[in-house]
Structure 1
Amino acid sequence: MRTAQGEAEGLMVPLPSWRDKEANKGGMVRAALWLEAEVGLGNVFTSGQLRKAFPDEEQIGRRLRDLRDYGWRIDTHRNDDSLLQDERRYVHRGQEVWTPGQAKAPERKASLTAAQRARVLEGDGFLCRRCGIGAGESYGDDIETSLLNVARRTVSMPDGSSETQLVTECKRCSTGTTDRVVDLTEVLGRVLALSTLEQKVLAKWIKADRRTPSALESLWGLYRTLPQGSREAVAGAMNAGENEYKGMGQ
């Protein structure tokens, strides 16, 4: 097993043992070492396996989540559809929390006031700006209803500066994600590159704060849900119609 420092020097540097409670203080450090030694990057584990490995740590799930503050990423079924409710995927290794002086948690940002949260939620129409779900609505999986919160986004401004802006997100969309940077210059450039007709259509969507799919787009979405035999029937009908049209032109 290599550490980041060992890889940079081209050396094999063994990690401390996650079983050593004396040398590795705290459940968070031991959980990180367990992920490296027992799970492996990109692999799946369950909450049951985690609890079995740390029977003496009552809050081991919370200690695992604490790793996110140090750049670690562990996905759940909320942001990875291939995972079951009890499964987790070890996606990215962050700072070496087991190395004294190496790991530094980001500075805690000041909490938002109730008035600030209310203004953001109202300005966003009480909708998650990623998936569009409203407060208390069902996701359609009979597992949970939505809970809206206010997240911070770093926005790169056209003048080259950066600023933090607030946006509404549901708990499911924000779970397990790291800070995302929005490049406003790129967005504005793509808007200006649209044709006049496309800009008018976009302006209507912006004014209504919603996008209504066209009849063709709705039909395409319906077609994609059909079984293979039905999709073949639709394709056959399209081919027959095209051939009939060509025959009329001869």
Structure 2
Amino acid sequence: MKRVALWLVSVVCEGEEFTKTQLRDAFPGVSQVDRRMRDLRDFGWRIDTNREDPALDPHQQRFVKAGVPVWEPGRGARPKGTTAIGANRRREIIAADGNMCRSCGITPGAEYPDTDEVAQLDIARRKVSKPDGEVVVELVTECNRCRIGGRGLTADLAGVLRSSAALSGVERRVLTDWIRDDQRSFNRVEELWSDYRSLPEESRAAVRAELGLD
């Protein structure tokens, strides 16, 4: 892993693309060199594939940003709470998460609205703030879009529990129905609100004018 990190910063350089063949040719005889490179993500290194960047071909990757200099003494130990995710564990997590992205609900192979881009699911490491104040890392299924946007976020379990406890009886029943079904249908007004929020300001102004708000 340390040798791969040095190869990335000295040969590939940040922002540049490389192929799996180039990686393997740089380390002849080294088994699972692809996995050694993926391990760098646990140390804050960003290496995009076509899952994160649709502009890349399946055989291409981009070295976006270096993280912890793992070649320095004492810097190459795996961060607390992180372990390599094997294929079996990955399948277990995706199955437990309902075979869908837990952020947006899209399923693998489905197209994103208004695009020809197809969703792929992967495992994200998410920081979670527990009620006792401890912050731990947990695994969650996300699509290639949400996984990028969710980097650096911390889920607030303590806040969710506090808000849940403060719900009225009617609100609690509504929430428990959604949780039991693991889904919620949005009406057209709610969908429009979400669409409006995603617009740039100039376009939001056009909507406000149409509704007589400006």
Q: TM class by shorter-chain length?
A: 0.5 to 0.7
In 2, Cα distance between equivalents of 1:190 and 1:45 = 45
In 2, Cα distance between equivalents of 1:143 and 1:216 = 25
The aligned runs of 1:119-158 (5 Å cut-off) are 123-134=96-107, 136-140=108-112, 146-147=120-121, 155-158=128-131
Contact 2:49 2:61 in 1 (8 A): yes
For 1:137, what is the secondary structure of its paired residue? coil
Aligned residue among 22, 27, 32 for 2:4: 27
Distance verdict in 2 for CA 1:92–1:176, change over 3 Å: farther
In 1, Cα distance between equivalents of 2:84 and 2:48 = 26
Aligned residue among 164, 170, 184 for 1:191: 164
In 2, Cα distance between equivalents of 1:110 and 1:78 = 19
Task: Name the TM-score, length of structure 1 as normaliser.
Answer: 0.52
Task: Name the TM-score, length of structure 2 as normaliser.
Answer: 0.58
Give the count of matched residue pairs.
200
For 2:105, what is the secondary structure of its paired residue? coil
The aligned runs of 1:1-250 (5 Å cut-off) are 26-34=3-11, 38-39=13-14, 44-47=15-18, 51=22, 56-57=26-27, 64-76=37-49, 78-79=51-52, 84-85=55-56, 88=62, 90-94=64-68, 96-106=69-79, 109=83, 118=92, 123-134=96-107, 136-140=108-112, 146-147=120-121, 155-159=128-132, 167=140, 169-170=141-142, 172=144, 182-193=155-166, 198-221=171-194, 232=206, 235-239=208-212
AA of the residue aligned to 2:163 = R
For 2:16, what is the secondary structure of its paired residue? strand
User: How high is the sequence identity, in percent, across the aligned residues?
Assistant: 32
Distance verdict in 2 for CA 1:202–1:91, change over 3 Å: farther
CA drift at 1:189: 1.9
AA of the residue aligned to 2:183 = R
CA drift at 1:145: 5.7
Q: Which runs of 5+ in 2 are unaligned?
A: none
- CA distances 1:92-130 after superposition (whole Å, capped 9, x unpaired): 521x23324442234874877969955x55543333323
Flag the structure with larger Rg.
1
Q: Please name the residue that 1:10 is paired with.
A: none
Task: Report the aligned-residue RMSD.
Answer: 5.0
Q: Which runs of 5+ in 1 are unaligned?
A: 1-24, 243-250
CA drift at 1:174: 5.3
Distance verdict in 2 for CA 1:66–1:112, change over 3 Å: closer
